A and B are shown apart, each in its own frame.
Chain A
């Protein structure tokens, strides 16, 4: 009975849409438009908002708007939710200072229940702030019309990866994404490097806060070249690592009060929020980096070194290749990477210009549907598919799915970030776990509409995936095999599972 009723429902839904399609004139161009795969890569999944923008602006206009989105137009409910977060209303320097004070206080307490409780309370609060930072990123990824910018936010947070569980990083990740990454996500690469270099999250995570003249710590210096700018095979040496580490001495996190400095050093001292350049810890000796003698002094020398790194041809190639792996293919066409690298060099590292080269490349179309979605792309696209522009109230389930798939934001322990190769995300254990999440999303509201602060769910039941977006974007791409699997569904929930588990929905 149930099965029969469900079949009727499906037929009816199809009929209604066919009628609607006829009523509104000819079949929308999008049905057969070759731009669908292009839009699927530029976004975290096509939804009604993307379709409307695209139809209004056309291909060139849409690309231009995505490359220079300004502030983006978040839906009011999303903007309001973000404004109300604790992380939107706190100053990171003050926050860090209060946390350090509290840590000192509880470390001075005798071992016992009071200390235990204080530590527990501090941990709970830290975890809340990490969740808020994840929630804010997910809200924007799912609902911002500036979809390319949101993908770049994820890309750069992953490129300049920090791990929330190390040192005091958890207190800093919200500010890191908002102030170090977001302003430059489509800007100049050099500004991104400098913003991450000046952020306490990176300085704590890669130990540069501890790097001082006579107490050298190479950790950040090495990764700044290997992972952030040049790539491991760029030809720098262990000596370059040590020299760059010397350059970076004194770049650290501000303490409660400025240090006492000799008069001749005072002019070099810098302090901005929780960032500090302490010339008392800096090695002022002469340095050679990549065969160049550095000529400036103090923090200006750091800036000079970064200029040198980002202007290396290796940097243009390294960043272009990584972008192409993310958006195009595990092994991107070398000619495309070369053109992107040329743009990178000619534009002095303008990320939007490099992306324009990528998104206007014929090679992109040739790779349509060939890249398996990583967990972030999958989960966000599934929520966009299931609920379109309807605002999810509770982001815990989404954050948990990313955790279960091994790709939580700010959760990668090592500084290389998550793999961009699709083979990393399509192993057997990944596939079955992904199907479990498909089942959860397809079978009910999954806790997504339980208000964050308790109270009854505002939406119950399962999502209906047979939306206009489904008919214009997804259905035309389905293989006969997938269509026949969908027909074997015994309930709408199962139908949802099979669609969200299908090869077509899992790649782009």
Chain B
């Protein structure tokens, strides 16, 4: 598939939404969904460095047992060094085998505050770490501006910082079902209240989204009546996200919380495992619900930081640094562990505490965006200033 060609020709005749933005990207424009795990998930208990005896020494209570082919529901060996947590193997295992998932260990940012909020902000802004950062310019907003035909949407209660910069970017929480929409007259009057106001496009888009969510909920109810399995939590969100992204929105953002496991995080089972299962099954649902369009979609899962490599005094882990990112998609070159790596042992830890960052998220995403949409170095520079693309050949 020559995506660059399609992108150029497809954007030749864009239509306008009510919000006045470009809409109806050509059906071939690749989709991108960013999944932000807020709280700093413990990546070492997702992608287990099973060849490292140091891992087992460091986590006497929470380490996940070495993969054993005889155990059907234990960790799943991906290669000689890495294994997948039992909590996700049923969903990600088959996808990995099909080459639809890759993991990037030692990934993250140069921000060493180990503060959730500071580091989340850093990542969402996507700017160099200088005191002059512009808090009105998030990387997803800059991406959306560059890809003028790919309408963005955040599936969140409030607009994430990654979307800062354009008051009209859409956000909607899919956890709460839509009420009956306003009629045409009410919609027109409500819009008229905000003509010329800084919130004009947010209002227009919000009223449009309200109609769409109402339709989506109706469709789900119809499907449920035909005996569809009911889903909840992230799975429900995932199914609805797919509905939105299959048709109209090409750039998505969603956040998932509950990863700050300072106490009793568990190993093969426990709170972290439960959260991982919900995430992995939700992503599998998302892939299924997209149907053929999964082949034209890339999902990127990231988190603000990894956690301490050693368990703490409470069978949990504290704030660390390097993380493991996930890349998923129907046609990605996955089934492998991508990016720069080092052996996992005490000597390679950062400050004798956590994973180092060898794959900076800005370079990695720039590389991904370059091959996904055929962006020029100049375009990438506006999205991630000063971060040359690192091509991990995932797309």
- Quick check: A431 and B199 within 8 Å, CB to CB? yes
Q: Which residue in A214, A217, A426 is a CB contact (below 8 Å) of B202?
A: A426
Q: Which residue in B170, B193, B258, B316 is a CB contact (below 8 Å) of A428?
A: B170
- Quick check: A238 and B313 within 8 Å, CB to CB? no
Decide: A232 near B199, CB < 8 A? Known: A212-B313, A215-B312, A425-B158.
no
- Quick check: A429 and B172 within 8 Å, CB to CB? yes
Set of chain B residues within 8 Å of A414, measured between Cβ atoms = 38-39, 116-117, 257, 260
Q: Which residue in B168, B185, B314 is a CB contact (below 8 Å) of A217?
A: B314
Set of chain A residues within 8 Å of B360, measured between Cβ atoms = none
Set of chain A residues within 8 Å of B173, measured between Cβ atoms = 406, 429
Q: How far is the CB of B191 from chain A (nearest CB, A)?
A: 9
Set of chain A residues within 8 Å of B193, measured between Cβ atoms = 481-482, 485, 498, 501-503
User: Nearest A residue to B173 by beta-carbon distance?
Assistant: A429
Interface positions of B from 249 to 302, Cβ below 8 Å from A: 257-258, 260, 262-263
- Quick check: A503 and B199 within 8 Å, CB to CB? yes
Name A's interface SS. Answer: helix
Decide: A210 near B192, CB < 8 A? Known: A419-B158, A426-B167, A426-B202.
no
Name B's interface SS. Answer: loop
A503 CA to B190 CA in the complex, in Å? 10
**Interface size, chain A (Cβ < 8 Å):** 51
Q: How far is the CB of B134 from chain A (nearest CB, A)?
A: 12
- Quick check: B263 and A217 within 8 Å, CB to CB? yes
Set of chain A residues within 8 Å of B39, measured between Cβ atoms = 414
Q: How far is the CB of B34 from chain A (nearest CB, A)?
A: 16
Q: Is B182 an interface residue (CB 8 A)?
A: yes
Set of chain B residues within 8 Å of A419, measured between Cβ atoms = 158
**Interface size, chain B (Cβ < 8 Å):** 56
- Quick check: B312 and A485 within 8 Å, CB to CB? no
Q: How far is the CB of A413 from chain B (nearest CB, A)?
A: 5
Q: Is A488 an interface residue (CB 8 A)?
A: yes
Set of chain B residues within 8 Å of A348, measured between Cβ atoms = none
- Quick check: B202 and A428 within 8 Å, CB to CB? yes
- Quick check: B182 and A435 within 8 Å, CB to CB? yes
- Quick check: B313 and A217 within 8 Å, CB to CB? yes
Q: Which residue in A212, A216, A431 is a CB contact (below 8 Å) of B203?
A: A431
A494 CA to B187 CA in the complex, in Å? 11
Interface positions of A from 426 to 475, Cβ below 8 Å from B: 426-433, 435-436, 439
If A214-B313, A488-B189 are given as contacts, then 10 extra A-B residue pairs at C-beta distance below 8 Å, sorted by A number, are A217-B312, A217-B313, A217-B314, A217-B316, A405-B157, A414-B257, A425-B158, A432-B172, A488-B192, A502-B193
On A, residues with C-beta under 8 Å from B are: 207, 210-212, 214-219, 222, 226-227, 232, 238, 241, 372, 404-406, 413-414, 416, 419, 423-433, 435-436, 439, 481-482, 484-485, 488-490, 494, 497-498, 501-503
Nearest first, the 8 A-B pairs at minimum CB distance are A215-B313, A406-B157, A429-B172, A432-B206, A427-B159, A428-B206, A428-B205, A431-B206
On B, residues with C-beta under 8 Å from A are: 38-39, 113-118, 154, 157-159, 163-164, 167-173, 176, 179, 182, 185-186, 189-190, 192-197, 199, 201-207, 209-210, 257-258, 260, 262-263, 312-314, 316, 318-319, 351
